[in-house]
Structure 1
Amino acid sequence: MFDSGMKEARENKVKIAGFPYEVVEEAVRFCYDRDHLFAFDILSDDDKMLLLKFSDVYDMASLKTYIESEIEYTVTPDNVCRLANASIKFNAEKLHSRCINYLVKCIKDSTPVANFDILNAILKTELLNKVVCHKI
Structure 2
Amino acid sequence: MIQNNEWSKRFRNHGEKDFKFIVGNESIEVHKFFLTLQSTVLSAMLENTNFKETQTGEMKIDGFKFETIKAVVGFCYGEDISSFMESTRNAIDLLMFAEMYDMDNLKDSIAEYYSTKLTKENVADIYKVSRETNAPKLRGVCFDFIYSIPKSERTAFVQANLDPAIHDLF
Asked whether the two chains share a fold, i.e. TM above 0.5, the reply is yes
Q: TM-score, normalised by structure 1?
A: 0.76
State the distance in 2 between where 1:79 and 1:92 align.
16
Find out whether 1:100 has 2:129 as its counterpart: no
Q: Which moved more, 1:47-56 or 1:101-110?
A: 101-110
Q: How does 1:9-20 map to 2 (within 5 A)?
A: 9-20=54-65
Helix, strand or coil: the match of 1:14? strand
Helix, strand or coil: the match of 1:74? coil
Task: Report how many residues are paired.
Answer: 123
Q: TM-score, normalised by structure 2?
A: 0.63
Helix, strand or coil: the match of 2:139? helix
Q: How does 1:1-136 map to 2 (within 5 A)?
A: 1-4=45-48, 5-31=50-76, 33-34=77-78, 36-38=79-81, 40-43=82-85, 44-108=87-151, 110=153, 113=157, 116-127=159-170
Give the conservation status (yes or no) of the 8 Å contact 2:123–2:142.
yes
CA-CA distance at 1:74 after TM superposition: 0.8
State the distance in 1 between where 2:160 and 2:47 align.
44
Give the conservation status (yes or no) of the 8 Å contact 2:130–2:136.
yes
Distance verdict in 2 for CA 1:126–1:96, change over 3 Å: same
Q: Percent identity?
A: 26
Extract unaligned runs of 5+ from structure 2.
Answer: 1-44
Structure with bigger strand share is 2
CA-CA distance at 1:87 after TM superposition: 0.6
Give the conservation status (yes or no) of the 8 Å contact 1:68–1:94.
yes
Give the conservation status (yes or no) of the 8 Å contact 2:68–2:93.
yes
Distance verdict in 2 for CA 1:53–1:98, change over 3 Å: same
Given residue 62 of structure 2, which amino acid in structure 1 is its aligned partner? A
Q: CA RMSD in A?
A: 2.2
